[in-house]
């Protein structure tokens, strides 16, 4: 302990005006400008330019090093994909273990954005005030646990025994799909606005870092063990310039007095405090870590305990409402939204309770009367909270719909084999289809944005309910909003349903669109052959099925279709060869045989279809009853 300063004294120091003493050299009260901040700005601008260069290099060359983002570590832990983000994050943690939490201050684009926002606000005379909560500071740690520890815990306790605790590692250091794990641009821009600007305006310059960022949670924890700290010599006169300058809300003057160093894990080693200290009392040096001292400096918090509890409840509800709503909002953005909602909800609460309330230089309430600024604040807060509540309502229906959808048992191939999947539905399937239909309709009809995950699922339950036309329309709409695999699947299902409706031209177009997205989608090739066959383009159909078999020899349906086609075209030898190959790969499952029989019957290959119906009956005599359906 540096001196005998008691907790009460420290609390008193903080609760009164910060003691910004006169500079001993200049005898002026002003705090000198931090020279370090220029270097930090240069480092952060260079980092941003490097990120832009990385993106441009990928666009030009089509391949690049995988994103150098800590979030990529999740894919290493979940799937064993070793990527650049994992290597960067590991090295950053190891460096933090020695030098403390410096990566945040010198190497993060979000901190650059937050600094830029604070700079802009100061230009218009608004200095962001820190929002201090006792409970919400644990959010980054909890988020870090979920992202980086939970995947392994889950695999250990919940997943089936055959899954290894440590996944098999694969090399993902180079990628051709750089943007794959990032949100689309129309989400990324609001993401940066909420996490970079709104959190600064409402919660202070490091609002997002303090209450939302999981990487900060990890760095803050590791910092406690690091010997590298901001330390003090005997020249400190408690002028308070360091604390007044610190944008991480660290009580520098109090901590260095108490411990001889800065122990707050929020310290990002930006060295602004060292730079502005008029007595050159601060320095970066090595010694005992934070865990070696007993902390007793008490911060002045913005909330009472009841407000803390209310805030924690609001935060949790808001986070759950926003996370993944419309399958658009990533976890970090939801955390940012939740911090803003919590602040607005608590301020609104105070606006009604207190007789006087200010926000920045704006008087929200005076002598019990809400002022003009107060009404503007209230309107904005209610709009924001209302939107968040609406997201919660949509999210609830999306989750309930997804839960019901997950429990639908009927295999897609069987449901698609004929126009009437109803005969294959079990009572529990019917219940789950009705529930999924109800919830997805509620989410889609009331949603402000299109949920490209819910839409195809709603289409599928509509199809299973017999609303084929609606299913076709919904799948078309879903495909418009999807990319890659999702888009290909929506077009495929749409094409398959159109085939069953005998709308072969439309089906062909849809299946071509599916294959344009994913040429390896064999199911779409099999369906495409069916459209061509029905349109009388028999040789083209045979070519498509042959191509499918060339890509994967063990396809029972394509081989059967080729066998049926060869038989109808009078090529007996070829028909026998394909049939033999088909038999080799057809599983001894009555449902599968029935499905193949239906598909063959659809295209007029009745003889071969009959063989599969008989085989199904042989495997399960109950199928005899379905014979005439």
At its nearest, how many Å lie between ligand SF4 and the CB of residue 274?
7
Nearest 5°: the CA angle 351, 356, 357 is 55
DSSP 3-state of 167: coil
At its nearest, how many Å lie between ligand SF4 and the CB of residue 8?
19
Q: Measured from the CB atom, is 245 or 452 closer to ligand SF4?
A: 245
Candidates 108, 136, 200, 404; binder of ligand SF4 (CB under 6 A) is 108
Distances (CA, A) of 569 to 542, 556, 566, 572: 10, 20, 5, 8
At its nearest, how many Å lie between ligand SF4 and the CB of residue 422?
52
The Cα–Cα gap between 99 and 83 comes to 24
Collect all residues with Cβ–Cβ distance below 8 Å to 292 and sequence separation of at least 6: none
At its nearest, how many Å lie between ligand SF4 and the CB of residue 277?
3
Q: With binding defined as CB under 6 A, does residue 458 bind ligand SF4?
A: no
Q: With binding defined as CB under 6 A, does residue 268 bind ligand SF4?
A: yes
Report the residue closest to ligand SF4, judged by CB: 216
For ligand SF4, the binding residues in 219-238 under the rule CB under 6 A are 219, 230, 232, 236-238
Q: Measured from the CB atom, is 103 or 521 closer to ligand SF4?
A: 103
Can you name the residues that pair with 230 across neighbouring β-strands? 284
The Cα–Cα gap between 535 and 454 comes to 33
Candidates 48, 78, 152, 279; binder of ligand SF4 (CB under 6 A) is 279
The Cα–Cα gap between 579 and 625 comes to 26
At its nearest, how many Å lie between ligand SF4 and the CB of residue 213?
3
Size of the site for ligand SF4 (CB under 6 A): 38
Candidates 40, 229, 231, 269; binder of ligand SF4 (CB under 6 A) is 269
Candidates 229, 241, 397, 457; binder of ligand SF4 (CB under 6 A) is 241
Q: How many helical (H) and strand (E) elements, i.e. helices and strands, does the chain have? A: 30, 9
Q: With binding defined as CB under 6 A, does residue 281 bind ligand SF4?
A: yes
Residues belonging to the chain? 629
Tell me the DSSP string of 28-85: --SPPPPHHHHHHHHHHHHHHHHHHHHHHHHHHHS-EEPP--GGGHHHHHHH-EE-HH
Q: With binding defined as CB under 6 A, does residue 270 bind ligand SF4?
A: yes
Nearest to 612 by CA among 625, 626, 600: 600
Q: With binding defined as CB under 6 A, does residue 563 bind ligand SF4?
A: no
Nearest to 548 by CA among 556, 558, 540, 557: 558
Candidates 95, 246, 415, 416; binder of ligand SF4 (CB under 6 A) is 246
Candidates 68, 77, 213, 404; binder of ligand SF4 (CB under 6 A) is 213
The Cα–Cα gap between 234 and 627 comes to 95
Candidates 111, 144, 337, 555; binder of ligand SF4 (CB under 6 A) is 111
Q: Measured from the CB atom, is 112 or 459 closer to ligand SF4?
A: 112
The token pair that represents 161 in the structure block: 């025994």
Q: Measured from the CB atom, is 273 or 561 closer to ligand SF4?
A: 273
At its nearest, how many Å lie between ligand SF4 and the CB of residue 197?
13
At its nearest, how many Å lie between ligand SF4 and the CB of residue 400?
33
Candidates 139, 242, 436, 532; binder of ligand SF4 (CB under 6 A) is 242
The Cα–Cα gap between 443 and 356 comes to 41
Sequence-separated contacts (24+) of 498-501 with Cβ below 8 Å: 498/472, 499/527, 499/530, 499/531, 499/534, 499/602, 500/416, 500/418, 500/419, 500/468, 500/602, 501/419, 501/468, 501/472
Q: What is the CA radius of gyration of the chain?
A: 32
The token pair that represents 348 in the structure block: 């609104």
At its nearest, how many Å lie between ligand SF4 and the CB of residue 181?
17
Choices 270-278, 384-392, 519-527, 606-614; region in contact with ligand SF4 by CB under 6 A: 270-278
Nearest to 309 by CA among 432, 435, 140, 133: 133
Candidates 10, 81, 104, 325; binder of ligand SF4 (CB under 6 A) is 104
Q: Measured from the CB atom, is 272 or 527 closer to ligand SF4?
A: 272
Q: Measured from the CB atom, is 268 or 364 closer to ligand SF4?
A: 268
Write out 443-506 in H/E/C secondary structure: HHHHCCCCCCCHHHHHHHHHHHCCCHHHHHHHHHHHHHHCCHHHHHHHHHHHHHHHHHCCCHHH
Q: With binding defined as CB under 6 A, does residue 110 bind ligand SF4?
A: yes
Q: Which residues bind ligand SF4 (CB under 6 A)?
A: 104, 108, 110-111, 208-209, 213, 215-216, 219, 230, 232, 236-242, 245-246, 248, 250, 252-253, 256, 262, 267-273, 277, 279, 281-282
């Amino acid at each position: 302990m540096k001196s005998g300063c008691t907790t009460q004294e420290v609390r008193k120091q903080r609760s009164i005006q910060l003691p910004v003493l006169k500079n001993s050299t200049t005898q002026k009260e002003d705090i000198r400008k931090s020279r370090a901040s220029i270097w930090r700005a240069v480092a952060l601008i260079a980092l941003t330019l490097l990120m832009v260069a990385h993106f441009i290099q990928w666009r030009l060359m089509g391949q690049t090093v995988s994103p150098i983002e800590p979030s990529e570590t999740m894919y290493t832990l979940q799937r064993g994909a070793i990527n650049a983000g994992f290597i960067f994050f590991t090295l950053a943690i190891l460096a933090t273990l020695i030098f403390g939490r410096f990566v945040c201050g010198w190497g993060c684009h979000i901190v650059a954005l937050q600094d830029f926002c604070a700079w802009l606000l100061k230009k218009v005379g608004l200095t962001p005030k820190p929002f201090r909560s006792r409970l919400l500071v644990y959010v980054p740690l909890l988020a870090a646990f979920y992202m980086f520890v939970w995947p392994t815990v889950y695999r250990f306790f919940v997943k089936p025994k055959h899954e290894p605790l440590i996944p098999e590692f694969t090399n993902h250091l180079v990628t051709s799909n750089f943007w794959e794990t990032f949100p689309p641009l129309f989400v990324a821009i609001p993401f940066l606005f909420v996490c970079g600007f709104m959190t600064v305006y409402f919660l202070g310059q490091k609002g997002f870092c303090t209450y939302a960022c999981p990487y900060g949670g990890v760095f803050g924890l590791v910092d406690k063990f690091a010997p590298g700290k901001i330390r003090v010599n005997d020249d400190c006169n408690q002028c308070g310039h360091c604390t007044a300058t610190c944008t991480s809300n660290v009580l520098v003057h109090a901590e260095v007095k108490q411990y001889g160093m800065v122990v707050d894990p929020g310290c990002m080693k930006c060295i602004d405090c060292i730079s502005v200290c008029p007595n050159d009392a601060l320095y970066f040096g090595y010694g005992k870590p934070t865990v070696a001292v007993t902390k007793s400096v008490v911060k002045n918090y913005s909330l009472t305990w009841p407000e803390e509890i209310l805030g924690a409840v609001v935060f949790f509800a808001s986070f759950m409402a926003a996370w993944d709503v419309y399958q658009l909002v990533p976890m970090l953005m939801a955390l940012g939204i939740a911090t803003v909602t919590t602040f607005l909800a608590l301020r609104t609460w105070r606006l009604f309770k207190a007789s006087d309330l200010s926000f920045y230089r704006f008087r929200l309430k005076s002598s019990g009367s809400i002022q003009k600024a107060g009404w503007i604040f209230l309107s904005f807060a209610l709009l924001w909270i209302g939107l968040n509540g609406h997201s919660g309502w949509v999210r609830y229906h999306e989750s309930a719909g997804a839960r019901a959808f997950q429990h639908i048992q009927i295999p897609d191939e069987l449901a698609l084999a004929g126009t009437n999947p109803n005969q294959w539905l079990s009572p529990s399937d019917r219940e789950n289809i009705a529930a999924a239909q109800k919830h997805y309709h509620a989410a889609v009809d009331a949603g402000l944005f299109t949920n490209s995950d819910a839409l195809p699922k709603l289409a599928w339950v509509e199809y299973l309910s017999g609303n084929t036309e609606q299913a076709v329309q919904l799948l078309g709409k879903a495909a418009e909003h999807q990319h890659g695999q999702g888009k290909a699947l929506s077009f495929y299902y749409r094409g398959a349903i159109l085939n069953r409706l005998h709308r072969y031209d439309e089906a062909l177009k849809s299946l071509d669109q599916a294959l344009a997205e994913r040429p390896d989608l064999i199911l779409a090739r099999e369906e495409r052959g069916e459209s061509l066959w029905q349109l009388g383009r028999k040789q083209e159909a045979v070519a498509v099925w042959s191509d499918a078999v060339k890509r994967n020899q063990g396809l029972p349906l394509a081989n059967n279709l080729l066998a049926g086609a060869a038989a109808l075209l009078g090529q007996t030898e070829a028909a026998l060869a394909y049939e033999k190959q088909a038999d080799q790969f057809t599983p001894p499952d009555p449902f599968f045989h029935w499905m193949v029989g239906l598909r063959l019957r659809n295209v007029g290959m009745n003889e071969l279809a009959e063989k599969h119906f008989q085989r199904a009956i042989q495997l399960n005599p109950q199928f005899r009853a379905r014979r005439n359906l």
